[in-house]
């Protein structure tokens, strides 16, 4: 059976789709992205800041735990975990 373009492959949804033979428009949810600013402290961080991150201080927060953030640079070329407190390579500014 060929499904219409954009129909989710979730088994529960497929049963409903097949049973009703109609295409259901799934609403999209929009979530606000969180950004933080970082300042390089170590020579390694300064090198990556200039050569990979394009000297942009802002980073998008992709994941957050109790003590760490997973950040992605604005140009999407550099990703890294950073401690919320006590990081020797980066200064975190919210």
pLDDT digits (tens), the chain, 94 positions: 455 555 556 555 545 555 555 555 666 777 889 999 999 999 999 999 999 999 999 999 999 999 999 999 999 999 999 999 999 999 999 7
Largest CA-CA distance found in the chain, in angstroms, rounded: 62
- Per-residue pLDDT, 94: 79
Q: Please give the Cα distance from 25 to 31 (Å, whole number).
A: 19
Structurally, how many domains does the chain consist of? 1
21 part of a folded domain: no
Q: Please give the Cα distance from 8 to 41 (Å, whole number).
A: 46
Burial degree of 56 (CB within 10 A; 0-12, 13-18, 19+): middle
76 part of a folded domain: yes
51 part of a folded domain: yes
15 part of a folded domain: no
| Range of the structural domain that residue 82 is part of | 35-93
18 part of a folded domain: no
17 part of a folded domain: no
- Per-residue pLDDT, 11: 52
Q: Apex CA 83: angle with CA 81 and CA 87, to 5°?
A: 110
14 part of a folded domain: no
30 part of a folded domain: no
Which pTM was predicted? 0.66
Q: Give the SS3 label for residue 35.
A: strand
- Per-residue pLDDT, 24: 57
CA dihedral over 76, 82, 85, 87, signed as positive or negative: negative
């Amino acid at each position: 059976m060929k499904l219409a373009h954009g129909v989710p492959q979730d088994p529960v949804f497929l049963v409903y789709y097949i049973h009703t033979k109609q295409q259901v428009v799934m609403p999209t949810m929009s979530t606000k992205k969180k950004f933080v600013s970082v300042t390089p402290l170590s020579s390694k961080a300064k090198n990556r800041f200039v050569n990979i991150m394009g000297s942009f201080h802002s980073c998008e927060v992709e994941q957050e735990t109790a003590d760490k953030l997973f950040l992605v640079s604005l140009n999407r070329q550099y990703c890294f975990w950073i401690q919320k407190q006590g990081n020797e390579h980066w200064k975190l500014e919210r």
